[in-house]
Every structure is written in C-alpha cells, then in structure tokens.
Structure 1
C-alpha cells in the first residue's frame, strides 16, 4: 500500500506523503512503515463507539 501511495504522490508532484496506521500492540506496523522510509510524527488515539481506544500513528516521507 505504501508503495502505491508514494507512486501516486510522486506522479502528482507532491512534495510530502503522509499516512496513518494502527500503532497498538507491539507497534509492528509502525516499524514496518519506518523501514519503508517513513518517519513517525504524531501519535493519536481514536475513541471507538465501544469506548475502547484505538492508537494510531501519523508518518511522513519527503518526496522532493
């Protein structure tokens, strides 16, 4: 998914790609994104209708 997003951003001439992902558990998905060249920036939490917290992480990559 990240590769597709990066390709679309580059084709559109965008200087910055930002994505978000699930950051819970062992943060394995965040680690994978970082290994793909993204940098973790802002963590966030979404409160689900059940009242449970869903931890997320914004990541970015400069393209230009």
Structure 2
C-alpha cells in the first residue's frame, strides 16, 4: 500500500483554514504586549511609528 503524494491544491488548501481548537484573534492591552514582547512602553511606541509593530486601535467613540 503506497500513499499518493498530495497535489499542490491539496497541500495548500489546509494552509488558510484555522484549526477548531485555536482561539479567535483578540486585541491586547499595552501591559500584555509589554509582557509578551519584552519591551518597554517607549520601545513599543517607537516600533509602532516605524511600522515594525501594528498600530494601536481606539476602542472608544472619539
């Protein structure tokens, strides 16, 4: 019994799908980002202005 090699379409079809066990993406607050990336507030804001980190999102109406 030999396994049939996957075609390109079959192998890339699963790349875009998200596993059922993965949590949905969410917004992180600044203290959480500081803990995860190991940078201080000023370094995070510097990298945001350089485009190396995503910009902040406003959650309020203003």
Bin for the TM-score computed over the shorter chain: under 0.3
Larger strand proportion of the pair: 1
| Structure number, greater radius of gyration | 2
Q: Which structure exhibits the higher relative contact order, with contacts defined as CA atoms closer than 8 Å and separated by 6 or more residues?
A: 1
Larger helix proportion of the pair: 2
Q: TM-score, normalised by structure 1?
A: 0.20
